[in-house]
Chains A and B, each alone.
Chain A
């Protein structure tokens, strides 16, 4: 089957939605494509997306960044504190600065002193975890609603909006029609689901989320279209070559790590300011690590990271909004596997076909046998998904050639 690139993208996009629609009509469970689920997924995707981009910036300039989690912790604390003190926008700014502080520490350790990059990252995570506890002790203990593990609640939030014309947003005081919502409510095959997804993505949007998503094209444009970007990537691909051409690798790695820290900090800020209205200990819940997995899954490319983050955000969104619908995911997997099996038969790839049939049977059995998945086990869904994705995708990846290798000026050659 030969399809043009555009047609293939269309199929990749439409087929899963069609499958989900079938699942919805079959099971009567509309949680998989409801706008509530998608909206929650979007909110949950953005911190992971930013963590993934933070990893991308760090590794593209040649430094592994296990410390994203720590930088995010700084982001949640400084964001929570800043928003509580000065309002949400300055809170986000403080979150970015807090993350950059983490990036700076990581840069000093790895770039200046050549400490092992993984070790430095792990230590940074420890430092952030305990450091913010000490600061909470000083800043939040004794305040109304605050404590050693929590900030007082913020009083104002980042404004939200609905997109006009399609999702009922206001336009100069005029309330535009809400086309998507009515389409979603219709419940038609495919169209209802598509509308649900689009409505979820376009209603009650926080500006904080929009800025976060905008980091994807911005990252692509800076890294692949500008001088700074080319030099930064060359520092991760071949620092020796870059240095001989007059590129200051050391400085660029500082830049890369500061941006990385800023993005991670912003991710933390989203958690403390947009997704909730206070700082809480453990708010990051390992999203920094999931972000790293997303970066690998996305093959160190911004679009790939976006795809990975959407996937993880979606599993979290379903878990949060439509926990009952989780078992229907088995049905979805079963149907998708059947489809893959059919394609395998067409393409005569036997092993793939057998695997697909096998997966399909297992998933179908799981759907029929399991009434509801225990809450305690669904907690591990994103982490499990990460492992599965890495296990199946890790063969065809192209990481920056020199990420993880310490660089010292003039030492090689």
Chain B
């Protein structure tokens, strides 16, 4: 019996060595992969970003703000910290992780839209955390949303379960870049080289949100977010809220009604606080042209470049 128990331990040990080995190889591949969200996370966690401007937002921020253009125009280092498909709560968590490891930025550009106010209850795009599950900050963020992440820490390869392609990509990433266009990132920004297609699911999604005319809850959230930044940034840091251009199909009466009081509130805050700026570009000229979008909600690469230039000019005026 002793021999048998020894044999079982041997099986477990050999399996763990190989499984953790392969997992490490794949994780490491992702971490080293330049121009990827994994490498962005690695840089954030290793304190290698330290940008003067940080852009925050959800998927629209992720694909819409080109930090290279914005940084050049403002002559400041810039990084896009947006959380793809993540709402305000996830954006805050990501920013806290950033601050823990990097210098405090001088300027915050916070993208805002109606989707911003819908709290994330699930962890979107969870694969981006796989190579970092042993990092304490990532662990506390992921396990808060999904208990499986605790298992991922102890059982090797489980996080890659049914994700054979991802495991393969991670291993390949040690030797070459397996990613195609639309996945690569540049300083956290993910340009989308795509043509316009109407996203009916998104169009029907937001009008159904139960916004009330006075938007009390949303206004509270706005103040929460501003306070969140105020408490964390230096006194003279600039906080800029931007409403990106939305494709004209979205610009309906109901859209106006839903955002009216939010806009009023932002304008009011702007009047009171000299370090706060609100830029409303929802109705920008870009809204009329499909060549700038890949769906009604997201700018494509051409659109994001143009928008980044436009928004930079406005920010430049404010900063100087």
A, B in one complex: no
